[in-house]
């Protein structure tokens, strides 16, 4: 019997400015279905600048080379996924670290009450592949309970320390989507202050160096809505409650914020029991491979719904 010859197909694309999402670029190159598209990533058919890219949700940068290699006529089935946690979705994972998309309402770490249902517990259970925790998860940074979005955890203390060094050097890309009360008067700007913690554990700004930790927040207005403004925010520093404090002190608290200017943060169109704050993009360099990772967590549906209803 003659052996069937498989034909390898290969297509390459230099990523343009307007198409950083890898899944969309691969689908345009291959014209496969969404299910087969995920299968191509699962079977290591997709490379970015020569490195295998296993996650469709990843994003590239303009000028990077995207390469897809697959066999003609073969159906690349998506591999079965592990049961997803109630607390998070996996955005990226390897044997060194994991990037998760945290759900709103989940504590990142225990408070003084010593909760055992936090995100760090959930990631540790994920690492341990069961309810009994046998493998510690090392947290690198945090999000507020009622904020959703991307966080990175390490599998070892050394990996966590290496990534924390990047955060201390202000190297990671951290972009948030936020809806604040009122109309922000300028289209873009930078908010800068020194944050201090009071006796109630609230943060507030001082302009006096040495009396707090430097906090720098860059923002751009995406759209002004009825009684609110949709923004993208990039953090240069990552202090606790930084975005919430900076905008509240300027009369534009984050919608749904029960801590900082709650009366102003109430909006009749924001019916969610969460902050209108989402950590959408996280970019940093892999501490072992040196690869530039850039993950994007889709903005929650409730944000888009609010924008549609309040234009």
Residues annotated catalytic, as ranges: 144
Q: Look up residue 135 and give its two tokens.
A: 């493998």
CA distance 251 to 2: 76
Taking alpha carbons only, the member of 17, 74, 19, 18 closest to residue 45 is 74
CA distances from 77 to 30, 52, 174 (A): 15, 18, 33
CA distance 180 to 248: 9
Could you tell me which residues come within 8 angstroms of residue 226 by beta carbon, excluding any fewer than 6 positions away?
Answer: 269, 310, 311
φ/ψ of 74, rounded to 5, equals -85, 135
φ/ψ of 172, rounded to 5, equals -65, 150
CA distances from 59 to 15, 43, 111, 175, 264 (A): 10, 18, 34, 13, 36
Could you tell me which residues come within 8 angstroms of residue 92 by beta carbon, excluding any fewer than 6 positions away?
Answer: 55, 57, 58, 98, 99, 293, 295
118, 144 contact by CB (below 8 A): no
């Amino acid at each position: 019997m003659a052996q069937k010859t498989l034909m390898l197909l290969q297509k390459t694309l230099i990523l343009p400015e307007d198409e950083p999402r890898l899944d969309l670029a691969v689908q345009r190159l291959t014209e496969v279905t969404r299910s087969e598209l995920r299968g191509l990533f699962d079977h290591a058919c997709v490379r970015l600048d020569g490195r295998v890219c296993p996650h469709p949700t990843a994003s590239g940068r303009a000028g990077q080379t995207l390469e897809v290699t697959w066999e003609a006529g073969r159906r690349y089935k998506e591999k079965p996924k592990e049961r997803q946690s109630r607390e998070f979705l996996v955005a990226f994972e390897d044997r060194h670290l994991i990037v998760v998309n945290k759900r709103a309402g989940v504590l990142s770490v225990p408070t003084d009450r010593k909760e055992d249902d936090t995100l760090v517990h959930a990631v540790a259970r994920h690492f341990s592949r069961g309810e009994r925790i046998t493998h510690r998860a090392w947290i690198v940074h945090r999000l507020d309970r009622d904020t959703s979005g991307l966080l990175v955890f390490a599998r070892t203390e050394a990996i966590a320390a290496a990534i924390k060094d990047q955060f201390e050097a202000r190297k990671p890309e951290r972009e948030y989507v936020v809806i604040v009360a009122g109309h922000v008067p300028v289209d873009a700007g930078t908010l800068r202050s020194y944050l201090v913690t009071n006796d109630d554990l609230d943060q507030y700004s001082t302009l006096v160096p040495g009396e707090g930790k430097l906090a720098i927040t860059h923002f751009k207005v995406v759209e002004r809505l009825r009684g609110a403004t949709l923004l993208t925010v990039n953090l240069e520093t990552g202090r606790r409650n930084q975005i919430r404090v900076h905008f509240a002190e300027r009369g534009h608290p984050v919608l749904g914020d029960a801590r900082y200017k709650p009366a102003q943060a109430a909006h009749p169109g924001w019916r969610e029991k969460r902050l209108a704050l989402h950590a959408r993009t996280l970019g940093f360099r892999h501490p072992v491979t040196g690869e530039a990772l850039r993950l994007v967590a889709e903005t929650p549906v409730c944000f888009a719904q609010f924008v549609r209803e309040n234009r």
